[in-house]
Amino acid sequence: MNKIEVKHISKTLDELPTLADISLTVGENEIVVVLGPSGCGKSTLLNIIAGLLHPDRGRIIIEGEDWTGKSTRVSYMQQKDLLLDWRSILDNVTIPLLLKGMPRKQARAYAANYFEDFGLQGFEDYYPRQLSGGMRQRAALLRTYLFASDILLLDEPFAALDAITRRKMQLWLLDLYQRYKSSILFVTHDIEEALLLADRIYILGSRPAVVRREILWDRGSSRYPEIRKEILEILEEESNGGYF
Ligand SMILES: Nc1ncnc2c1ncn2[C@@H]1O[C@H](COP(=O)(O)OP(=O)(O)O)[C@@H](O)[C@H]1O
Ligand SMILES: [Mg+2]
């Protein structure tokens, strides 16, 4: 059974059709990447899947159940994911466990188990401002993971990082995924990132966003240059071949 089924989602924002009849699926233990130009509606789509925004039409089905307009089933790392500056890293990442009613002491002990794998060991009592960009994103990812570990929606989690840190984070995420397994819907505007992480890629067109192409992908495939070129052509068409 698919973990997520997005069925014919449409949404108009400020009288502008933003999403038009978007359908996609995320299977069990699969990384699905939604790739599209900035401003095409990727975050809007994730907000709808996470249940924070109602679609005008269409349904969000999670493990066979209708979750349209209802939140809390999946974990969601939003593009502007802010750690709380006044709480230590450990107290930031335990928030979802406390929300679920786990006693504080137990939540801290439980979350602490993950610090090594998330590259945060020794930083439990640091505050967000004392951490590097990559560490902050790993902390935000851990907080997301502890909310609901089976389905993760990640909105451009590495976009703000410098190129080398971004690359390290991508490889780390892949390694983590291969050990922990989850169903991940990962949004990006970066082709290389999509090809590095995805089992499947949906390319979105813009104004309004539609699914332009679905690509079954094999990480590390020798067809990389060819597929990359094909994707680039679609994205260039979307921007009308101009410079702007
Ligand atoms: N709450 C909102 N109200 C009106 N327009 C919005 C809102 N959120 C986003 N938009 C607009 O909808 C379009 C898609 O935005 P967004 O989903 O953030 O795109 P992406 O994440 O792909 O960059 C953009 O033109 C943006 O300005
Ligand atoms: Mg966005």
Q: How far is the CA of 145 from the centre of ligand 1 (A)?
A: 25
Give the chain's length: 244
Type of residue at 194: A
The residues, any chain, with a CB within 8 Å of residue 242's CB and separated by 6 or more, are none
In tens, the pLDDT along 120-129 reads 999 999 999 9
Residue nearest to atom 6 of ligand 1 (CA): 13
| Sign of the torsion formed by the C-alpha atoms of 103, 108, 113 and 114 | positive
Type of residue at 206: S
CB 146 within 8 A of CB 131: no
- Same-domain pairing of 166 and 215: yes
What number is the average pLDDT over the span 152-181? 95
Residue nearest to atom 16 of ligand 1 (CA): 41
pLDDT at 220: 86
In tens, the pLDDT along 181-228 reads 999 999 999 999 999 999 999 999 988 999 999 999 999 899 999 999
Q: For residue 47, give the ligand 1 atom closest to its CA.
A: 17
pLDDT at 203: 98
Q: How far is the CA of 41 from the centre of ligand 2 (A)?
A: 7
Between the alpha carbon of residue 26 and those of residues 182, 186, 238, the distances in Å are 10, 10, 24
What number is the average pLDDT over the span 125-149? 95
Question: Residues lining ligand 1, CB < 6 A?
Answer: 13-14, 18, 36, 38-44
Between the alpha carbon of residue 44 and those of residues 111, 120, 237, the distances in Å are 30, 31, 22
27 Rama sector, left if φ>0, alpha if ψ -120 to 50, beta otherwise: beta
Q: How far is the CA of 223 from the centre of ligand 2 (A)?
A: 28
Q: How far is the CA of 67 from the centre of ligand 1 (A)?
A: 22
- Same-domain pairing of 49 and 154: yes
* The last residue of a domain, from among 147, 165, 199: 147
- Same-domain pairing of 173 and 191: yes
Residue nearest to atom 9 of ligand 1 (CA): 44
- Same-domain pairing of 4 and 70: yes
CA distance 39 to 58: 21
* The last residue of a domain, from among 147, 182, 204: 147
Residue 81 has pLDDT above 80, yes or no: no
Q: How confident is the model at residue 62 (pLDDT cuts 50, 70, 90)?
A: very high
Residue nearest to atom 1 of ligand 1 (CA): 13
- Same-domain pairing of 179 and 156: yes
pTM (predicted TM-score) = 0.95
CB 92 within 8 A of CB 84: yes
Q: For residue 46, give the ligand 1 atom closest to its CA.
A: 17
* The last residue of a domain, from among 102, 118, 147: 147
Residue range of the domain that includes 18 = 1-74+150-244
- Same-domain pairing of 141 and 157: no
The CATH number of whichever domain residue 203 belongs to comes to: 3.40.50.300
Q: For residue 14, give the ligand 1 atom closest to its CA.
A: 4
- Same-domain pairing of 181 and 243: yes
What is the average pLDDT score of the chain? 95
- Split into its structural domains, the chain has a count of 2
- Same-domain pairing of 89 and 32: no
The residues, any chain, with a CB within 8 Å of residue 9's CB and separated by 6 or more, are 19, 21, 22, 23, 45, 48, 55, 57, 58, 59, 60
Residue 63 has pLDDT above 70, yes or no: yes
- Same-domain pairing of 68 and 158: yes
Q: For residue 38, give the ligand 1 atom closest to its CA.
A: 23
Residue 242 has pLDDT above 80, yes or no: no
- Same-domain pairing of 154 and 240: yes
Residue nearest to atom 5 of ligand 1 (CA): 13
pLDDT at 207: 86
Residue nearest to atom 27 of ligand 1 (CA): 39
Residue nearest to atom 2 of ligand 1 (CA): 13
Listed in sequence order, the DSSP H helices in the chain are: 42-49, 89-93, 95-99, 104-112, 133-147, 163-180, 191-197, 224-238
- Same-domain pairing of 88 and 127: yes
- Same-domain pairing of 129 and 201: no
Task: Please name which ligand lies nearest the alpha carbon of 209.
Answer: 1
For a pocket test of ligand 1, which of 9, 10, 13 has the largest count of ligand atoms closer than 8 A to its C-beta? 13
